[in-house]
């Protein structure tokens, strides 16, 4: 079946502009995660959604970052007033909460802020 | 706070040689441990995972890893590498809190294979 998809695959934006990144999880997966991979860094947890529970936003680096998940499926990560340090690959993952706890990752969105 | 350390930023091995990638973690309880691989232009792919039980776990592509609680380590091994194994490898700890399985990743080890 289809895996996790993300769009766009690449995004170049000017400093100060807002961007939206989209994630389509695997159908039926109730958990959804956003991670950020900066150049030379490991992956950094940003936010987690599980069903109708309040999201875990503990990894968001600033209040310029926000995310929502509509209908328990598609998620959008929004970065307002982008800064150059926001340049990174943003990865989305989804999983079933029970069982294997395996997270399936999408291909990522490469964001470049000029 | 929990953390994952991958002390080797870059490793080069000859094709056919054995491989060991190191991973150490810091966590207050029994961790859930993972190894992921990221090939150029590809997403992260799970190689193997440890939750409990047998401390030697087998994964895909001929990889295995051994959980050693006394050393807080979860090193990845392969007896004979192939050129296609060239990639970036990430060790991760799963933090299970009320079902939240957010992962803490190491900074990765880049593997280069030479003929």
Choose between B74 and B3: higher pLDDT: B74
Q: How many CB atoms lie within 10 A of CB A80?
A: 14
Q: Above 60 in pLDDT, residue A93?
A: yes
Do the Cβ atoms of A33 and B96 come within 8 Å? no
> Confidence class of residue B103 from pLDDT cuts 50, 70 and 90?
confident
Q: Tell me, what's the pLDDT at B1? A: 73
Choose between B95 and B56: higher pLDDT: B56
Cβ-nearest to A50 among B51, B100, B106: B100
Cβ-nearest to B43 among A97, A101, A108: A108
Q: How far is CA A35 from each of CA A109, B16, B70, rounded to the nearest angstrom?
A: 11, 34, 30
pLDDT tens digit sequence for A19-48:
999 999 999 888 999 999 998 777 899 999
Q: How many CB atoms lie within 10 A of CB A22?
A: 15
> b/e per residue, B50-62, with b = 16+ CB within 10 A?
beeeeeebebeee
Do the Cβ atoms of B100 and A106 come within 8 Å? no
**Cα gap B72→B7, rounded to integer Å:** 13
Choose between A88 and A96: higher pLDDT: A88
Do the Cβ atoms of B101 and A91 come within 8 Å? no
Q: Above 60 in pLDDT, residue A1?
A: no
**Cα gap B40→B88, rounded to integer Å:** 8
Mutate to test the interface with A, among B87, B101, B107 (most CBs of A within 10 A): B101
Q: Tell me, what's the pLDDT at B73? A: 95
Q: Does A45 touch chain B (CB under 8 A)?
A: yes
How many angstroms separate the CA of residue B61 from the nearest CA in chain A? Answer: 17
Question: In this structure, what token pair is assigned to residue A113?
Answer: 């802020």
Question: In this structure, what token pair is assigned to residue B48?
Answer: 């193997």
Closest-CA residue of chain A to B89: A42
Mean pLDDT of B97-110: 79
Q: Tell me, what's the pLDDT at B98? A: 47
The SS3 of residue A109 is strand
Q: Tell me, what's the pLDDT at A99? A: 62
> Confidence class of residue A51 from pLDDT cuts 50, 70 and 90?
confident
Contacts of A97 in chain B (CB under 8 A): 99, 101
Q: How far is CA B39 from the centre of its chain?
A: 14
**Cα gap B107→B104, rounded to integer Å:** 10
């Amino acid at each position: 079946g289809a895996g996790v998809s993300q769009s766009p695959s690449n995004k170049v934006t000017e400093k100060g502009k807002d961007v939206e990144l989209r994630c389509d999880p695997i159908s039926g997966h109730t958990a959804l995660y956003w991670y950020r991979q900066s150049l030379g860094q490991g992956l950094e947890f940003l936010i987690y959604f599980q069903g109708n529970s309040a999201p875990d936003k503990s990894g968001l680096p600033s209040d310029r970052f926000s995310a929502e998940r509509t209908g328990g499926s598609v998620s959008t990560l929004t970065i307002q007033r982008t800064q150059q340090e926001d340049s990174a690959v943003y990865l989305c993952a989804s999983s079933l909460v029970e069982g294997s706890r395996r997270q399936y990752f999408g291909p990522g969105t490469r964001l470049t802020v000029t | 706070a929990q953390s994952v350390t991958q002390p080797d930023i870059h490793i080069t091995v000859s094709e056919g040689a054995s491989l060991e990638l190191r991973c150490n973690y810091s966590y207050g309880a029994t961790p859930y441990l993972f190894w992921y691989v990221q090939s150029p232009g590809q997403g992260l792919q799970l190689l193997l995972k440890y939750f409990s039980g047998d401390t030697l776990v087998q994964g895909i592509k001929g990889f295995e890893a051994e959980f050693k609680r006394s050393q807080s380590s979860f090193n990845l091994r392969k007896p004979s590498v192939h050129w296609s194994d060239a990639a970036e490898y990430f060790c991760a700890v799963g933090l299970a809190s009320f079902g939240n399985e957010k992962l803490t990743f190491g900074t990765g080890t880049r593997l280069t294979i030479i003929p």
